[in-house]
């Protein structure tokens, strides 16, 4: 009689053969479960991006860009800034030119006024050598008046007359007399030519416009 397997007592080998048979699969993780959805979303996003890029390019060729180029806007802003800068520089240049013209005009006016003033002063300072000058000899030295008169003639005076005084009311030193204020410069020049330092204005002269009174040599 053949004994069955159950007739023997169980040992460690019986544990191996007595277990559950077949393949064993563990439970899926959450990432494994949602991975297909993630892949689908990524693929859809890529396809949408490709579609939008193609659509924008097609519309752009027809002048209907959905997304205007940033470079175009930047270029326009740059051109606007450049034009504004050029306009500002032009305005500054015109302002500087205007200031320069005003300054030049002011300098020219000041220079003309200064030259005119200098010419007027020079004209007023010039002696009138056509005025009548009488040289009175009160020194008692014969011919001394004629000698002094020749000095004035050589200096350019055209109307010089040597003579003797007819009155005893004479100054104490060699003096040049004049009546009109306009003859002051001429009288001073006559005194300078003859080495006389005393020049006086008087109320009137009997002879001539300017009188030279010589009381000493």
Dihedral pair phi/psi, residue 28, rounded to 5°: -75, 150
Give the Cα-Cα-Cα angle 66, 68, 72 (nearest 5 degrees): 165
Q: What is the pLDDT of residues 97-140, one digit of tens each?
A: 655 555 655 566 666 666 666 565 555 579 999 999 999 999 99
How does DSSP assign 28-61, residue by residue?
PPHHHHHHHHHHHHHHHHHHHHHHHHHHHHHHHH
Q: What is the pLDDT of residue 57?
A: 74
Q: What is the pLDDT of residue 212?
A: 97
Stretch among 68-77, 150-159, 165-174, 189-198 having the lowest mean pLDDT: 68-77
Tally Cβ neighbours within 10 Å of residue 176: 26
Q: Which residues contact 211 (CB under 8 A, 6 or more apart)?
A: 133, 134, 136, 176, 177, 178, 205
CA 42/CA 49 separation, integer angstroms = 11
What is the arrangement of strands in the sheet containing 133-137, beginning at the earlier edge strand?
Answer: 160-163, 133-137, 210-214, 175-178, 198-201
Listed by start position, the domains of the chain span: 133-214
Residues of the chain above pLDDT 70, percent: 57
Q: Structurally, what CATH architecture does the domain formed by 133-214 represent?
A: 2-Layer Sandwich (3.30)
Q: What is the pLDDT of residue 103?
A: 62
Give the Cα-Cα-Cα angle 115, 119, 121 (nearest 5 degrees): 115
Mean pLDDT of the chain: 77
Report the pLDDT averaged over residues 138-166: 94
Q: What is the pLDDT of residues 56-104, one digit of tens each?
A: 776 666 655 555 554 445 555 555 555 655 666 666 666 566 555 556 5
Q: Which residues contact 137 (CB under 8 A, 6 or more apart)?
A: 144, 145, 148, 162, 163, 164, 165, 214
Rounded to the nearest angstrom, the gap between the alpha carbon of residue 122 and the centroid of all alpha carbons in its chain is: 37
Burial class (CB in 10 A: 0-12, 13-18, 19+), 112: exposed
Q: Which residues contact 67 (CB under 8 A, 6 or more apart)?
A: 56
Report the pLDDT averaged over residues 183-204: 96
* Angle between the N-to-C axes of helices 184-194 and 144-154, in degrees from 0 to 180, rounded to the nearest 10: 120
Q: Three-class SS of residue 70? A: helix
Rg of the chain on CA atoms, in Å:
64
Dihedral pair phi/psi, residue 203, rounded to 5°: -75, -30
């Amino acid at each position: 009689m053949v004994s069955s397997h159950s007739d023997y007592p169980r040992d460690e080998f019986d544990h191996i053969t007595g277990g559950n048979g077949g393949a064993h699969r563990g439970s899926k993780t959450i990432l494994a479960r949602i991975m297909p959805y993630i892949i689908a979303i990524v693929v859809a996003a890529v396809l949408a991006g490709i579609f939008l890029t193609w659509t924008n390019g097609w519309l752009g060729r027809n002048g209907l860009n959905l997304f205007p180029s940033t470079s175009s806007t930047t270029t326009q802003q740059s051109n606007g800034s450049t034009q504004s800068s050029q306009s500002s520089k032009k305005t500054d240049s015109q302002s500087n030119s205007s200031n320069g013209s005003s300054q030049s005009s002011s300098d020219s006016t000041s220079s003309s006024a200064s030259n005119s003033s200098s010419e007027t002063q020079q004209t007023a300072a010039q002696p009138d050598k056509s005025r009548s000058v009488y040289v009175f000899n009160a020194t008692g030295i014969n011919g001394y008046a004629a000698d002094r008169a020749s000095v004035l003639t050589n200096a350019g005076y055209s109307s010089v007359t040597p003579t003797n005084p007819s009155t005893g009311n004479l100054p104490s030193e060699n003096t040049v007399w004049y009546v009109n204020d306009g003859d002051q410069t001429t009288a001073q020049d006559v005194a300078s030519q003859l080495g006389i330092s005393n020049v006086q204005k008087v109320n009137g002269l009997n002879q001539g416009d300017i009188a030279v009174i010589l009381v000493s040599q």
